[in-house]
């Protein structure tokens, strides 16, 4: 892989940038990276031209419209449309222009809201989805099915990784669009600077979530690209979850915010629990490395050194 042209679609995002770091550290020499302005993946003709010209041998499909519970609730059309367009354009062009292998990134929210925990890959489509992010989930399920269908009908080597909630450097720290962990880092940091009494935490604090550092995910993606070729999706997680209240306490401690955590029950909780069963990935010889504690601390360091730029 190191001497082959590799497209990392979405290389400026949380996941794509981590995959680029991991590939460069591993010796990759021909990364194909395009900003959205250079290549709009929602536009089929542009994607077609790009693949015809550059013919990447490997594709990491990390481009997607992503966001937290509020962004998902308020922009259902964009979450459905953009993700369907991006993945359809890229998977089809990759197959038709001779890509040897493609890795598609999904999400743990594809699994039914009340499926038994930890969530195995086999519980896909066995029950209703969590309504706060069903538009995104439906698009991701379609992407997974497209990879399976292209493998069955055309013999295209497309594999699917289903990560749990991710965090790390390069995350979205906006208060309305982000996921919970970066939102809490920012809220606690700003509250500390302003000597505020309290930080508002959405929901009841009881939902449980599993968090994986994005550098661990990137390492898993490269491992799967090298060692896995099958139609079954592979969960990628940390293996343990925490309640949102516990997470808020960990973030407050790492940031040094000593005020009150105030839970706002008028905001949605989302799905009650979302812990992945990762035994399939473990059997493939991969394990995560970065503890939640260490990951929160290093992400907070990253945030502090970029806070000024992020606020602009
Ligand atoms: P989800 O995993 O798809 O539900 O996405 P999120 O990361 O956005 O939310 C996870 C949980 O954290 C939900 O129960 C939210 O209500 C809760 N939460 C608490 N405070 C915040 C916050 O400031 N931002 C976000 N996005 N979620 C929060």
211: pLDDT confidence band, cut at 50, 70 and 90? very high
Pairing assessment for the beta strands 208-209 and 242-243 based on DSSP bridges: antiparallel
Taking the centre of ligand 1 as the mean of its atom positions, its distance from the CA of residue 170, in whole angstroms, is: 18
Predicted local confidence at residue 307, as pLDDT: 80
| Whether residue 312 has pLDDT greater than 80 | no
Q: Among the options 136, 150, 167, 303, which is catalytic?
A: 136
pTM: 0.96
Task: Report the pLDDT value the prediction gives residue 309, as an integer from 0 to 100.
Answer: 76
- Using the predicted structure, report yes or no on whether residue 228 has a pLDDT greater than 80: yes
Q: What is the mean pLDDT of residues 11-30?
A: 97
Contacts of 211 (CB under 8 A, 6+ apart): 164, 165, 166, 167, 181, 238, 242, 247, 292, 295
Taking residues 163-182, what's their average pLDDT?
94
For residue 203, the ligand 1 atom closest to its alpha carbon is 16
Distance (Å, whole) CA 51 – CA 312? 35
Q: What is the pLDDT of residues 64-118, one digit of tens each?
A: 999 988 899 899 999 999 999 999 999 999 999 999 999 999 999 999 999 999 9
User: How confident is residue 311, by pLDDT bands cut at 50, 70 and 90?
Assistant: low
Pick from 153, 89, 140, 120: which is nearest to 277 by CA? Answer: 120
Any ligand 1 atom below 6 A from CB of 182:
no
* 303 assigned to active site: no
Give the percent of the chain with pLDDT over 70: 99
């Amino acid at each position: 892989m190191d001497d082959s042209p590799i497209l990392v679609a979405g290389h400026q995002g949380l996941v794509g940038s981590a995959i680029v770091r991991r590939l460069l550290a591993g010796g990759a020499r021909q990364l194909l990276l395009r900003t959205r302005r250079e290549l709009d993946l929602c536009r089929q003709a542009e994607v077609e031209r790009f693949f015809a010209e550059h013919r990447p041998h490997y594709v990491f499909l990390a481009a997607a419209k992503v966001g937290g519970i509020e962004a998902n609730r308020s922009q259902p059309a964009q979450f459905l449309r953009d993700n369907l367009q991006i993945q359809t354009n890229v998977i089809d062009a990759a197959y038709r222009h001779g890509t040897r292998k493609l890795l598609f990134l999904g999400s743990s929210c594809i699994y039914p809201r009340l499926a038994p925990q930890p969530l195995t890959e086999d519980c896909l489509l066995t029950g209703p989805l969590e309504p706060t992010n069903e538009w995104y989930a439906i698009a991701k399920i379609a992407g997974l099915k497209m990879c399976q269908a292209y493998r069955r009908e055309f013999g295209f080597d497309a594999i699917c990784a289903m990560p749990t909630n991710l965090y790390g450097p390069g995350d979205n720290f906006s208060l309305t669009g982000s996921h919970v962990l970066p939102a809490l880092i920012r809220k606690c940091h700003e509250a500390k600077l302003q000597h505020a009494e309290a930080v508002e935490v959405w929901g009841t604090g009881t939902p449980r979530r599993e968090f994986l550092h994005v550098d661990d995910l990137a390492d898993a993606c490269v491992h799967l690209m090298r060692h896995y070729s099958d139609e079954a999706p592979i969960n990628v997680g940390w293996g343990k979850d925490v309640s949102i209240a516990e997470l808020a306490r960990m973030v407050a401690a790492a940031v040094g915010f000593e005020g009150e955590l105030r839970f706002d029950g008028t905001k949605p909780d989302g799905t009650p629990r979302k812990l992945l069963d990762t035994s399939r990935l473990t059997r493939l010889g991969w394990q995560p490395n970065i503890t939640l504690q260490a990951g929160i601390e290093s992400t907070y360091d990253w945030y502090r050194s970029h806070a000024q730029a992020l606020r602009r």
